[in-house]
Amino acid sequence: MNDVHFQDTIPSAPSVVVIVLNYNNFEDTAECVRSLEALRYPRFSVAIIDNASPDGSAAMIAASFPDVYLVTNKENKGFAAANNQVITHCRGRYILFLNPDTVWDDGSLCGRG
């Protein structure tokens, strides 16, 4: 598994890895990722874990969001184990866990929501 890396553009902003767990929920996950992509926060990365979705979600996520770090589980590991498997590969100062039905406002990571 590759590490999640950041491009350090603004040293004063802490790096954040946003982890989203998906299971048979491409539409909500896609809306969540699109809201994150619209953020103006300079140093964050998105990791999505597909928890063995039988509906083809992993392939749709890979095709729609080539810049996210995608982990595709061969079996459903459950909520906690699936999220925890990515933590050791994250290189951010902060890790933010989101449910796939979360939609972010642009100021959310900056405290200006």
pLDDT in tens, 37-87: 988 888 888 999 999 999 999 999 999 999 999 999 999 999 999 999 988
- Phi then psi for residue 54, to 5 deg, are -80, -5
The answer to whether 4 and 17 have CB atoms below 8 angstroms apart is: yes
CATH topology of domain 16-98: Spore Coat Polysaccharide Biosynthesis Protein SpsA; Chain A (3.90.550)
**Rounded distance between C-alpha atoms, residue 12 and residue 68, angstroms:** 23
Residue 59 buriedness (CB in 10 A; 0-12 / 13-18 / 19+): middle
Place of tokens 């100021």: 107
Domain boundaries, the chain: 16-98
pTM score, whole prediction: 0.82
Q: Which residue(s) pair with 98 in the sheet?
A: 20
